[in-house]
C-alpha cells in the first residue's frame, strides 16, 4: 500500500467553484506528495480526530490566521482570514496525531498552529526589512509564488539532514510569525532578519515545521522537494 498523508483543507465559499462550498487543498502540495510516492486524503470540518489512525502522516498547510484567542491575545486589526471551523479541525487532528506518534509536516500557517498547540504565541503582523509578499485571501495574483528568502538551518537538525544543506531559499507568503516558542519545540531555522523559519519538536517523533512554502518550488528545487520526500519516508515507516 502507498503511504497515505492526511491534509485538512480550507473551505472555499459557494459560488467560486460551484453552487456549494468546496473543501480545497493547493495542488502544489499534492504534486510534492505525489513525487515523494504518497497519496493524499483531504478532509474538512467535522472530520473526527481519530481518523489519524487510518493514515501514516499529517500535513498542515498554509492559509488564514489562527484565532488570537487561542494564544490569549486580543485581535490585531491586521489579523485576517480567521476560520474557527478550520482551527477546530486542525488543532484536533494535530493533538490526535501527536498522541498517536504520527509524523507531521507543518507549512506556514501550519507552523503557527503547531506553535500555538505547544503553548506558544504569534506575532500578528511581521514588518521587517526582508522582502515578503503578505498572504491574502483570495490571492491577488493566482499562480504566483512569494519572493525567495534565504533561510539558515541549524547543522544536524532534521531539515538540514533532509535537504543536505544548512542554507536554502524558500518562497515566502506570510505576515505572521512565531513570537514565544512553545514548550517542547526548538527553533532550527531563521531568516537574516531573525524571523523564526523552522521549528522541530523535541523527542524522537518527526514533527517538523517551516514558515516558508516548500511546495511552491518543489517541482524545480530538489532541496524543497527533499522536505516532502523525507516526510513521506518517515510516514512510510508506519505503513503495514
Q: Which residues are catalytic?
A: 108, 213, 215
Check: CB of residue 184 under 8 Å from CB of residue 202.
yes
Sheet of 38-43: strand order equals 38-43, 3-8, 57-60, 104-107, 207-210, 196-201, 185-191, 148-153, 167-171
Measured between alpha carbons, how far is 108 from 112 in angstroms, rounded to an integer?
7
- What does the angle CA 227 – CA 225 – CA 138 come to, to the nearest 5 degrees? 95
Give the residue among 144, 123, 121, 147 at the shortest CA–CA distance from 133.
147
Three cell numbers written together for 35: 513525487
Amino acid at each position: 500500500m502507498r503511504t497515505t498523508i492526511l491534509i485538512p483543507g480550507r473551505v472555499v465559499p459557494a459560488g467560486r467553484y460551484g453552487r456549494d462550498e468546496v473543501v480545497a487543498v493547493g495542488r502544489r502540495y499534492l504534486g510534492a506528495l505525489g513525487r515523494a510516492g504518497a497519496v493524499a486524503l483531504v478532509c474538512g470540518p467535522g472530520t473526527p480526530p481519530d481518523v489519524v489512525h487510518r493514515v501514516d502522516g499529517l500535513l498542515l498547510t498554509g492559509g488564514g490566521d489562527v484565532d488570537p484567542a487561542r494564544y490569549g491575545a486580543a485581535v490585531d486589526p491586521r489579523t485576517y482570514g480567521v476560520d474557527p471551523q478550520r482551527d477546530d479541525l486542525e488543532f484536533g487532528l494535530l493533538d490526535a496525531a501527536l498522541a498517536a506518534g504520527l509524523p507531521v509536516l507543518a507549512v506556514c500557517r501550519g507552523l503557527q498552529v503547531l506553535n500555538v498547540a505547544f503553548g506558544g504565541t504569534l506575532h500578528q503582523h511581521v514588518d521587517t526589512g526582508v522582502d515578503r509578499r503578505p498572504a491574502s485571501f483570495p490571492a491577488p495574483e493566482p499562480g504566483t509564488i512569494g519572493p525567495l528568502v534565504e533561510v539558515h538551518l541549524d547543522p544536524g537538525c532534521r531539515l538540514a539532514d533532509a535537504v543536505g544543506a544548512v542554507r536554502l531559499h524558500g518562497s515566502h507568503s506570510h505576515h505572521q510569525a512565531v513570537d514565544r516558542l512553545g514548550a517542547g519545540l526548538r527553533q532550527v531555522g531563521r531568516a537574516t532578519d531573525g524571523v523564526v523559519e523552522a521549528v522541530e519538536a523535541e523527542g524522537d517523533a518527526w514533527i517538523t515545521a517551516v514558515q516558508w512554502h516548500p511546495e511552491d518550488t518543489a517541482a524545480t528545487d530538489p532541496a524543497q522537494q527533499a522536505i516532502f520526500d523525507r516526510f513521506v519516508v518517515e510516514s512510510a515507516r508506519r505503513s503495514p
